[in-house]
Structure 1
């Protein structure tokens, strides 16, 4: 049943729009009040044309007509006063059978159910009745604000009233509110659809929003009113609709409200990732892409390609709202993910820890900030939450995968289910291929079993399968294939952060630093506690270079909050980056201040790690005083000034001689660490001996040498040579 053509839009009504303070709540909206609201409710005004009966007529012996309000698909809507309830204002909806006979007959049978419809998202139906000359009518709650078509026009005319870019966040707030009402309507115990969702049917009155034309509400699958511009292709010829058709209409309503393209087909171009790898990505951000993807999924042609239900769509709109707000304000907009567990791993590529001893044997051309390898990323990305409907949801929610081999054994006799197979897939990925060559084939087998358990009807639309296929591709270092898989996941759940984190890592390895930065920043700004996003953003900033690269990289790491488990790693990385980029005494001083804070306030307590960090920073000072080529970049006087300002607990040396003495001592300590951690082999020069050579080279020149008290380096070298065979044999 198709509604008659829409009338021309009336002139804009005067209203006051009050912009709310910044708020991370995805349901907050401006306050909208009609300026002539008080007059419009007055009973003494002359009745405009269109009133079916004279003003003052008493309908059903109770409702006194005041004036016409408008015309809907099922008849006139009039303002009236309820003489039995303090003369409260109500809306009377006349039901004209000749306009929509099928809908009329359906509605007559469901009037009592409409009265019992009790949700804040819908206008209340107080009563129903019959009056000679008018026929049947409904008595509705009276609201009089701007409908969404009027809101859209006003936002276009006065964007400042809605905070300019903030208007898209408000559009999502409308969506979240409407979806709460649709979820109530679609619940199995009610089994209804709204059927005719469109901008004119959503009213914003003060701080409330209401779906106002409840005459279109009917049983799922029953005929009823629809509007061509917002009707899903899957709706029947007479308006037969299912719950996912309401989601389509909402998607079109929000697309129109946001002004995204002329038709829903334009969303495909807006949702593409292509433009993210150019220099404009940082200015554009990812929010528009995520918004377009959410609306595109809602408005797909086939029902199976859309969101499964109102709750799922609401979760994704809330996630897109958080992303848009964080990208616009730079402020955290955190809410725990409904679909992923937060990963305990920072994916820092080693930058968040004190340098490994082998760092001092690496060639100068070795990359300073390598990203974690694809197999490591596959093992450390966030894990999907178990499906609440899975048979093993309770047990799976209590598991920890710290020991994958033990957990595989523990779950070996569990009854098969999709989530059990997916868990086994991830556990196999956690097993190192060099110790278990069958790990990856076994992971692929487990994923195939999960797909069979989900079934051919649902598997093509289950994003969990694409997520795990992406992990498997990373584990085999097939990064381009992994990117395609994670892109599909992003299209299915555009409000989630985990697919964007995975796509950021793929972009890094595919040498697309702008794209990587775009993904990492979208995740980092939304939740600064996620160390993986902070480290990825810092690496991308440094890879892109530019005059602000260092400051921006450090800012991303500094933004990791104190309560984050990745705070110490982030501060360690900041010190190492400052040290690498120190070009003069000021740069050295900055690195020393960061080192003091790392030792005293940011949790680096391991003594061997402290020695390695000191060796790193002291080495920078030595390089500035005596660079291998070129003139010194720091004088002895500047070194003394830096030492005077440094934290006394660091015991930073004020002159070159003591600096060399400290460095020599540090290198001897590192040699001992290397000897304990990696016994020398007969086929290569031991790392410990290389470090001892450094210690010899840097130690200050001495005029005296006691033959009976050999230099400690000689003792260490003898200890290494004497103990190496024993260690190898053990």
Structure 2
């Protein structure tokens, strides 16, 4: 089970995996609860269905689903010219079976519920539509659903019904069908009393119906759009989180058991729900959905939160892409991304499914809330990639970026500042960092710490009143910043010994590897964090930096782009994407990335400077680029010195272009000067003389005057 077999962590931290290193505080998905689509997009509603039209005309269990409850073999099959039959005895072990409905149209149960017919059948029982004659009237009918047993000779099925009667009436959640009552009615075959759950009638469509009925733009049957699939996942996980908090597990999730009603999603068919504290006599689940540890012939495990979340992953997978072999070849695994275009295109979604359906239950998400956070993050990413609209949201796991790296193209200084190389030593302390768990014993102490030099911070943390998990991680970070790599590794090893499955171990291993110059190790560590938290942007940013450092621009560009399109507060992603695009000679796209840095950002000016320099790249500069760079420069609000230095760059590029294109059309101006060699030389000369006046050093001033003289227009006098 999740969390078992782990050592206690230092000084009071209950579990390094409770929940998987997630910090406390408000989940970013809280505000969106209760609305299908999380308030981010509109999911097509499921139209209400007339109750009468939903009744089956000829309710039968298909022979292919008639199996003996004891040996599991098919029963009632057609043979020797005889048709299939729904009642009889198993030819293998003699067990009696019956798959016929026990209630007929017109029957009254406890003289209150009038049966209209069968709606459906499932693994545990027939579902009937009924009219509540006590609460309905001639103006409005009250429709309810009665769920009974397929085979009343099955003691496990009877026990399951008794369990339903005991606790399901207490379940009350907007994403779960409401149980109104529990009634009894005699079986017409045996005369024994049969129990029936009375539930609210929901006239929507199951996810299976939505999936089977979906068509693409050409009218061909197609899986559901990924945003819709993820929206369903959010609502299902909301319901699962409620059940798990009450000590219950659902066990039998599949598309048939989830209903969309208008803009709401509800779990139906609670017949397989179990208490986590109970030892179940029987476990109900569907092939292809049920976790492998529950199906083992030797030492099978009991249902758990982990096995429930496995069924969520499998359900989302089935309705999101064509999945042949779901119950056979891929019964307990996912196809490879190379074989499924959606998984290749949406890496974060693939990683989400991979963790949710990991063969080892300890490697899956620790809670429905944790998985829901990651589903929400993946949804934000998928939507932003689809329409280009950023959807920033605060993370419950990471701080914002702590600094910047690779922004030299946006700096204006005496040496030009246009170097495109990244100072990789600055990356570790610029990345976001895991948030502090407020329940940690050392959280209060950490909150008192202000900005200080790394070496001083190390000394302060070593003298902390408690050596808790969060204090230890902060010490690791401080040691990395101070260059004490051996000390950082030792402290991290101490934390890892107590919480080996905590994702923060891999995170700080990656940060330490970056600081030590070990790029392959950093790549491996950040990739592991991405696998654990596929909906978070910080691991993608870190992995992009490691990929860029290793020269893998294709990988780096894809990751930077995903981060940047999703959340424009990650300005390091904008600069990283622009660097990659510029190296790939995609200058307009690089400028577009830099233009996305909002004017509210402290890096907006640097991004605009970098955009000007991208326009002036000698490998592609044209007249339109020069005009655009000039307009940008004139809009920037900078001090006189930086304005003059950047003017030098613009004038120089324009002058070179004019000299290289003597016959080109000359309309327009550059920083107020015409597209003319003499006028541009005059502007460049003035810019140098402005800089000379501002220089404090005599040698620098003299050098600038010499440059001004060199570029000044020639005269005859």
Relative CO higher for 1 or 2, CA cutoff 8 Å, sep ≥ 6? Answer: 2
The answer (yes or no) to whether the contact 1:194–1:218 under 8 Å persists in 2 is: yes
User: Which residue of structure 2 aligns with residue 11 of structure 1?
Assistant: none
What corresponds to 1:33 in structure 2?
47
Distance change in 2, residues 1:440/1:239 (3 Å): closer
Answer yes or no: is the 8 Å Cα contact 2:223–2:321 preserved in 1.
Answer: no
Q: 1:614 to 1:448 in 2, by over 3 A?
A: same
Look up the match of 2:69: none
Aligned twin of 1:152? 211
Query: For residue 486 of structure 2, what is the aligned residue in structure 1?
Result: 441
TM-score between both structures, scaled by the size of structure 1: 0.77
Match status 1:425 vs 2:459: no
Post-superposition CA distance 1:333-391 (Å, at most 9, x none): 2221221111153423311222x32239xxxxxxx652423221112111111134422
Matches within 5 A, 1:164-313: 167-187=225-245, 190-220=246-276, 222-223=279-280, 224-235=283-294, 240-259=302-321, 261=323, 262=325, 263=330, 267=334, 269-270=336-337, 288-313=346-371
Rounded to whole Å, the distance in 2 between the matches of 1:369 and 1:618 is: 19
Change in Cα spacing, 1:672 to 1:162, as seen in structure 2 (3 Å) is: farther
Change in 2 beyond 3 A, CA 1:673/1:162: farther
Matched, 1:347 2:360: no
Matched residue, 2:27? none
Residue 79 of structure 1, CA deviation: 0.6
In the alignment, structure 1 segments of 5+ residues that lack a partner are 1-20, 276-282, 361-367, 432-437, 600-604, 680-685, 705-730
Counterpart of 1:3? none
Give me the whole-angstrom Cα distance separating, in 2, the residues matched to 1:46 and 1:270: 43
Q: For each residue in 1:81-134, what CA deviation from the matched residue of structure 2 results, as whole angstroms up to 9, or x when unmatched? A: 112222410001114674642353254245242111001111111010222225
| Number of the residue aligned with 1:129 | 183
The 3 A distance-change label for structure 1 pair 664 and 300 is same
CA distance in structure 2 between the aligned counterparts of 1:612 and 1:664, rounded to whole angstroms: 12
The answer to whether the 8 A contact 1:429-1:475 is kept is: yes
Does 1:67 find its partner at 2:117?
yes
- Supply the distance in 2 between the matched residues of 1:532 and 1:288 (Cα, whole angstroms): 22
Paired residues of 1:121 and 1:211 also in contact (CA < 8 A): yes
Report deviation, 1:416: 1.1
> Which among 583, 588, 592 is matched to residue 555 of structure 1?
592
Residues 657-710 of structure 1 show CA distances to partners (whole Å, capped at 9, x for unaligned) of 56445544544665788876xx9xxxxxx8777656534533456889xxxxxx
Q: Establish whether residue 117 from structure 1 lines up as the match of residue 171 from structure 2.
A: yes
Contact 1:28 1:173 in 2 (8 A): no
Partner of 2:428: 378
Residue 72 of structure 1: how far off its partner (Å): 2.3
Contact 2:36 2:43 (C-alpha < 8 Å) held by counterparts: no
- Could you say what secondary structure the match of 1:215 adopts? coil
The aligned residue for residue 642 of structure 1 is: 668
- Of 410-419 and 476-485, more deviation after overlay is shown by 410-419
Q: Are 1:620 and 2:634 an aligned pair?
A: no
CA distance in 1, matches of 2:109, 2:132: 10
Structure 1 or 2: more helix by fraction: 1
- Distance (whole Å) between structure 2 residues aligned to residue 335 and residue 286 of structure 1: 25
Match of 2:711 in 1: 698
| 2:142 aligns with one of 82, 88, 97 | 88
Q: 1:110 to 1:388 in 2, by over 3 A?
A: farther
SS, match of residue 555 in structure 1:
helix
Distance 2:118 2:383 in 1: 41
Match of 1:598 in 2: 636
What is the distance in 2 between the residues matched to 1:674 and 1:108?
89
> Structure 1 residues 674 and 382, CA, compared in 2 at 3 Å: closer, same or farther?
farther
The residue correspondences of 1:454-533 to structure 2 (distance < 5 A) are: 455=498, 458-459=499-500, 461-533=501-573
Per-residue deviation, residues 307-352 of structure 1 (Å, max 9, x unmatched): 0010010011111111111111111122212211111534233112
Give 3-state SS (helix, strand or coil) of 2:135's partner: coil
Cα distance, 1:598 vs structure 2: 1.6
Query: How much does 1:227 deviate?
Result: 2.1
Aligned residue for 1:234, secondary structure, equals helix
Q: In structure 2, do the counterparts of structure 1 residues 239 and 26 end up closer, same or farther at CA, with 3 Å as the change threshold? A: farther
Which residue of the other structure, out of 613, 621, 643, is the alignment partner of 1:610?
643
After superposition, the CA RMSD in angstroms is 3.4
Cα separation, partners in 2 of 1:27 and 1:192, compared to 1, 3 Å? farther
1:333 matched to 2:387: no
Cα distance in 1 for partners of 2:104, 2:589 equals 71
Q: What TM-score do you get using the length of structure 2 for normalisation?
A: 0.79
Over 3 Å counting, the alpha-carbon distance change for 1:158 and 1:108 in structure 2 is same
Distance in 2 (CA, whole Å) between partners of 1:675 and 1:96 is 93
Q: Say if 1:193 and 1:242, in contact at 8 Å, map to a contact too.
A: yes
Question: What is aligned with 1:709?
Answer: none
Change (3 A) 1:54 1:198: closer
SS of residue paired to 2:47: strand
Residue of structure 2 in register with 1:79 after alignment:
129
Cα distance per residue 1:462-519 (max 9 Å; x no partner)? 2111111111111122212211111111111111111111121122222222211111
Distance 1:371 1:310, change over 3 A: farther
Per-residue CA distance 1:614-667 (angstroms, 9 max, x = gap): 2221222332345xxxx45587x93xx433xx6xxx554786556445544544
Q: Could you say if the C-alpha distance between residues 171 and 589 of structure 1 is closer, same or farther in structure 2, counting changes exceeding 3 Å?
A: same
- After TM superposition, list the pairs within 5 Å mapping 1:378-397 onto structure 2: 378-396=428-446
Preserved contact between residue 271 and residue 290 of structure 1 (Cα < 8 Å): no
Is the partner of 1:230 in helix, strand or coil? coil
Q: Is contact 1:225–1:239 with CA below 8 Å preserved after alignment?
A: no
C-alpha distance in 2 between matches for 1:348 and 1:428: 23
